[in-house]
A = this chain, B = another copy of it.
Amino acid sequence: VLSVTVHASRCSINGIPLVRNITELPQDNYGRPGFLHTTLAGSLLHGMKEIEVWLQTFAPGTQTPIHRHSCEEVFVVLKGSGTLYIASNTHTKFPGKPLEFPIFTNSTFHVPVNDAHQILNTGEHEDLQVLVIISRPPVKVFMYADWYMPHTAAQLKFPYYWDEKCYENYETSENDEL
């Protein structure tokens, strides 16, 4: 019964209070150990059409995939520290050697549209916690095995992890109505 409740609240726009306690929202690691994602405001969850806001936590030694997307993305680092890798050479056939920037508590940065990037918690003890804001949800992500994989070989992941279950629900609902 609990899983049904969580399931519903993760994907339904019905019955969700306008003001929500972040610490009570459903969170999941989506099969990625040391990772936690919470959708604070989402397209499938809250009917957002132009922006999504996520809270994500990375345990020491964990990271995002190397990826790019054609939306804008802003990060606000709430806790911890780590590294941003970003390759802005979108006119080449592959991302190539990225630039490296330290990120830290109370820092903010944005990722230009289509630049390949990766966030890592390079710390040894402390979680890295970030607010992530994207435009034009739901996000369509192209993932790279490494920085030298050709753009044409990057793998489209859509719906992305945290949207998958909700898309399944939508499809189920539609089928139910047939």
Name A's B-contacting residues (CB within 8 A).
18-23, 40-41, 46, 48-51, 53, 71-72, 74, 76, 84, 86, 101-104, 106-110, 131, 133-136
Contact B50 A135 (CB under 8 A): yes
Which DSSP category, helix, strand, loop or mixed, fits chain A's interface? strand
Question: Can you spell out 13 A-B residue pairs with CB atoms less than 8 angstroms apart?
Answer: A19-B101, A19-B103, A19-B108, A21-B104, A41-B110, A48-B72, A48-B74, A50-B50, A50-B72, A51-B134, A53-B108, A76-B131, A131-B131
Bound complex: CA A115 to CA B106 (Å): 31
The CA of A108 and the CA of B22, in the complex, are separated in Å by 7
Closest Cβ of chain B to A9, distance in Å, is 14
Q: Of all chain B residues, which has the CB nearest A136?
A: B50
The CA-CA distance from A103 to B18 in the complex, in Å, is 10
**Are A135's CB and B51's CB within 8 A?**
yes
A51 near B74 with CB under 8 A, answer yes
Which of B72, B86, B104 touches A51 (beta carbons < 8 Å)?
Answer: B72
A46 surroundings in chain B (CB, below 8 A): 110
Chain B residues with Cβ under 8 A from A134's Cβ? 51
Q: Is the CB of B74 within 8 A of A110?
A: no
- Complex: how many Å from CA A77 to CA B21? 10
**In the complex, which of the residues B19, B21, B110, B133 contacts A133, with contact meaning CB atoms closer than 8 Å?**
B133
Contacts A19-B102, A19-B109, A53-B108 aside, 12 further interface pairs with beta carbons under 8 A come to A18-B86, A18-B110, A19-B84, A20-B109, A22-B108, A40-B76, A41-B110, A46-B110, A51-B51, A51-B134, A74-B133, A76-B131
State A107–B25 Cα separation when bound (angstroms).
10
